[in-house]
Every structure is written in C-alpha cells, then in structure tokens.
Structure 1
C-alpha cells in the first residue's frame, strides 16, 4: 500500500475502518459498501477505498455486480483486473452459497416451494434461464437441469432437450421454471404456447409437467395457479 493510500484510510476513525469494524462487531455490522471496500483493499490517489466502493454500488447496484464480468468491472477507474476478479469471485461464492441445497433434498409441494428454491438463483439474471426441476414420485428434487439460456422460444427449448434430462434422471415429473429479466413475471403468449407444447409431450412420455413458474423480481407467476395448465 502506498503512503497516500495509507493516509486516506487513516483519515477514518479506527472504529469506522471496515476491517477493524468487522473484527470488532462482526461482518453483519458492515454495510454493503464497507464489505466491498474490504475486497477492494485500496482506493486511488484521490479517492479513499470506501468512496470507491460506494461509487461502484451506485453505478452497478449490488445485483448488477453479480452479473458483470471482471473485464467490464476493471474498466472503472481505480479497479484493476486483480481487484475485479476478487470482487466477482466473492460475489459468485455468495451466489453459490445461497443456492446450496440442504442435505435433504427439497420437496416441491406447491408453486411457492418452486419459487422459493429458484428465486435466489434466477431473480437477478440478465438473460432468461429455463430450468427444469426434476422430481421423484414423492416430489423430491432429484436435480435441477438448465435447458436453455437466452430468449425463450420453441426453437431453443425443445421437448427433446427437456425430456432427455428427465429420462436420464428417471424423473417421475417436472416443474418448469424460468425468469423474466424485466422483473415482471407475467406470462407472454410465447410462454403459454411453449408450455402447452411441453405438457403435451410429457403426456406422451408419461412424465407429467406439474407446473411452470415464472420468476420476477421478488415475485412469481404459477401457470397451475392461473389455470393455464
């Protein structure tokens, strides 16, 4: 750390320096900006690290940092590639922790169960992710299979791709889940048409499509609850 950067950090009272504050009060006592400042470690000649962290959060928001690449983040003044990689890696670890399944496989009893399971993973995605929850005869989640990433349409999400996964895991049924990056989970005509196609294919194969849940920003829509399937 250079002398200038050391001085900028020392301008803060010791109790307000992020590392000292975490040691004294624990990680939960820190703001998002303070946690980010610890990852960044240093600021620039004209900007202390806390201010740099605050500016990053204003520019990208916390959710945006979860989808940005290290190369893009490193374009910000004061953020080199090493710092960018550190930030992206830390946020990815947090995302993986939030998606970690308990030792016992989750059970999908209703649309809320499916939404709660997939909301942390899909809520902030900037592209549409189409996921199949593959279920046992007792509705335990055997696996989560990503069927496609990108704009949702019949050419990308084909029945053979979905049911190949279901058959490979010997799934008794499936729940379809995908996100709307706009945050609005209202089904489109394409969503409805595709779902009906997949339901029909499942009937032929004797693998039931129990529901299709669309994830928005903190909310969801269930085709089963809406009477669409």
Structure 2
C-alpha cells in the first residue's frame, strides 16, 4: 500500500514543496517523486500532485518502466489526461535525446567495449530483439546506425542483402552487427553464430568487412569475435 501524503500541496510546508526545494537546493537533490510532481504541476480534486506522482511511479515500478510508457498507458492512470501525458512523454523523449546526443565529432570504435558504451543504455531495456548495424568509415568512425530487424534472430530474417544494401548506401568500409537479448543474458546461441558467419561471407564478396557481432544484455555484452565464435 502506498504511504499517505498530504491531500493538497498547500498542506506541505512551503520549504518542502518541490518547486521551492528545487530553487533552493537544485534539481539533483530532489527525489524522483518531487521531480515528477514539478512536471505534472497539479494533482486532482482528491489528492495532491505529490500523491499523484507517487502513484505514477508506483504503477510503473519507478523509472524503469516509466521510461518506456506510452501515451495510452499514462492516460490509464487516474489524474493523467491527454495534456499531462503529452508533457510527460515530451520530457522523457527530450531526456533520451540529450543522453544519446553525439557531438559533431564521430564516435570511434576501437574495441567491443566501445560498441557497448555506444548502445548499451539504448538497447538493454528493449523487450524485443533488435538487430542493428553500425556502419564505419576507414577510420573506424561510426557514420550511421540502423535497426534492420525486430524479432527473434534467424537466418531467414537477417538476410545479407538487407544489411549490405544499407552499408553500400552509406559507403561503409566495414560494419559491426549487434542485437540485444531481452533476457539480459548475452550468451550467444548457435543461430547467432551461424547468422554471423553467413554475413561475414557476404561481406568478403562485397569488400565490406563484418568486424564483429556484439550481443547486448543487461549491463553486459558478448563479442562473438573475442569469444572465438567467428
């Protein structure tokens, strides 16, 4: 059961109200509930904005699921209408874009760890398998990132034609393949290995090297090249 909070924001001491606290001590010192309350601005007739933000976090198990919440899911919460749902989705999307923003200088891949750092926070929360390629130039700089397929990895879905069509469009010198395991375990399956070998053979014919295939788990990854699978 959720702990009780004051019925209205006026019942909260002035110095403890989210906006006033943020002015005084900064956003980084506020709780998730208080930050969310600032975005929501108002509560409902029967509860304060702090109670409403507490319910939102409770329903979405904290920030983990709220990060991926849809407009429809947000509006199912009593007190969240279209306007509040739009504002929350906009804030979440803006946060995602800021976090993933890359400066004009292209990201350089020197190791599997570099690949992991580049995609981990985007891919470890995905609930379906996404097959992605990174197109690199001759300096191993990322010039393009493309999600090619969504769904369980198999040789009929991941066709070399689609992968190399994208690589040729970008004039890539080489590519790195990667996909996520929603289970969080990045251990490769035999299908993962077979698909990678097939793609590498296609790359040799076209002169576009497949450097590696990285499997993304939850805060961990597996490089098929480092593991000696390819």
Answer yes or no: same fold by TM over 0.5: yes
Distance in 1 between the 2:179 and 2:43 partners? Answer: 39
Choose 207-216 or 60-69, whichever is displaced more: 60-69
Contact 2:7-2:47 at 8 Å conserved across structures: no
Output aligned runs, 1:86-165, within 5 Å: 86-165=87-166
Equivalent position of 1:18 in the other structure: 18
Equivalent position of 1:173 in the other structure: 174
**How many residues are paired up?**
224
* Structure 1, unpaired ranges of 5+: 1-5
Computed over aligned residues only, the root mean square deviation of the Cα atoms, in angstroms, reads 1.7
How far 1:73 moved relative to its partner? 1.4
How far 1:21 moved relative to its partner? 1.4
* Structure 2, unpaired ranges of 5+: 1-5
Distance in 2 between the 1:167 and 1:113 partners? Answer: 23
Output aligned runs, 1:1-229, within 5 Å: 8-60=8-60, 61-229=62-230
How far 1:7 moved relative to its partner? 6.8
Contact 2:7-2:46 at 8 Å conserved across structures: no
How far 1:72 moved relative to its partner? 1.7
Contact 1:71-1:81 at 8 Å conserved across structures: no
Distance in 2 between the 1:199 and 1:180 partners? Answer: 21
Any runs of at least 4 consecutive aligned residues in structure 1 with deviations exceeding 6 A, and if so which?
none
Q: Report the TM-score, using the length of structure 1 for normalisation.
A: 0.91
Contact 2:175-2:208 at 8 Å conserved across structures: yes
Q: Report the TM-score, using the length of structure 2 for normalisation.
A: 0.91
